[in-house]
Chain A
Amino acid sequence: KQEVTQIPAALSVPEGENLVLNCSFTDSAIYNLQWFRQDPGKGLTSLLLIQSSQREQTSGRLNASLDKSSGRSTLYIAASQPGDSATYLCAVLVNAGNMLTFGGGTRLMVKP
């Protein structure tokens, strides 16, 4: 059974810092990996999707990498801002059809 773990569970950094969020998964037979952002009381917003054949994806100040063989992904946030404060969730798609398996999330606070 696929399990996804995110470390740390919570992170507090001063504004302007570069930071890395970690995601690990137990079964490397994934179809893709996705990073989502969740604001308090809101739904999830997709940030980046990495197909299993890709190594990384970039969007603005965000860069996500994928190392399937080691079962790891990282989300790099450059020059963090208070508006980046949210919970970040990673999820893996085990097969093309259906089930996303989510990690527990990292709650990020960026202090002004």
Chain B
Amino acid sequence: NAGVTQTPKFRILKIGQSMTLQCTQDMNHNYMYWYRQDPGMGLKLIYYSVGAGITDKGEVPNGYNVSRSTTEDFPLRLELAAPSQTSVYFCASSFYPGADTQYFGPGTRLTVL
């Protein structure tokens, strides 16, 4: 049981490039989330999904896209990377957030130059 895994761990992008951050969970959770954490700050929700085929925007969705074709995978797509997207990105999952905590991956540290 690996929990929530994220790849890559680190990435440097040039302005205007695109990339996909991968997230996989093996706990059969319906709910999955993408957060970003800027230095010295708490986490902010980018997108979330309540099940395969269903996604919705969080607090800071601009510049990102997501898809959820399977229960296990929830990739985050960055189009036209900008320096403001330099951050640490965390993926999380939960069974039912009202009763259960969220389980976090180790994060992806992204720098846009």
A residues adjacent to B (C-beta < 8 A): 4, 9, 31-32, 34, 36, 41-46, 49, 51, 89, 91, 93, 96-100, 102-105
Could you pull out 9 A-B pairs where Cβ atoms are within 8 angstroms?
A9-B40, A42-B106, A43-B105, A43-B106, A49-B101, A97-B50, A98-B56, A98-B97, A105-B42
Given A102-B42, A102-B44, the answer on whether A97 and B107 have CB atoms closer than 8 Å is no
Q: How far is the CA of A80 from the CA of B8 in the complex (A)?
A: 35
Contact between chains at A104 and B42 (CB < 8 Å): yes
Instruction: Pick the contact of B97: A42, A97, A103 (CB < 8 A).
Output: A97
* Contact yes or no, A99 B43, CB < 8 A: no
> Within the complex, what minimum Cβ distance (angstroms) separates A93 from chain B?
6
Q: Which of B8-66 contact A (CB under 8 A)?
A: 31, 33, 40-45, 48, 50, 56, 58-59
- CB <8 Å contact, A104 and B102: no
How close is B55's CB to chain A, nearest CB, in angstroms? 11
**Chain A: minimal CB distance from B32 (Å):** 11
Q: Which residues of B contact A (CB under 8 A)?
A: 4, 31, 33, 40-45, 48, 50, 56, 58-59, 90, 92, 96-107
A32 CB → nearest B CB, Å = 7
- Cβ contacts under 8 Å, A43 to chain B: 4, 90, 104-107
Contact residues in A for B4 (Cβ distance below 8 Å): 43
User: Out of A32, A34, A98, which one reaches B48, CB within 8 Å?
Assistant: A98
Contact A34-B45, Cβ < 8 Å, known A43-B107, A44-B90, A104-B40: no
Given A99-B59, A100-B102, A93-B97 contact (CB < 8 Å): yes
A45 in contact with B40 given A98-B48, A99-B58, A99-B59 (CB within 8 Å): no
Task: Please name all residues of chain B whose beta carbon is closer than 8 Å to the beta carbon of A44 when the two chains form the complex.
Answer: 43, 90, 92, 102, 104
Can you name the residue of chain A whose Cβ is closest to the Cβ of B58? A99
A105 to B101, CA, bound (A): 18
Which chain A positions have C-beta within 8 A of B59? 99
- Besides A41-B107, A42-B107, A46-B101, 11 other A-B contacts (C-beta < 8 A): A43-B4, A44-B92, A49-B101, A93-B97, A96-B98, A97-B50, A100-B43, A100-B45, A102-B44, A103-B42, A104-B40
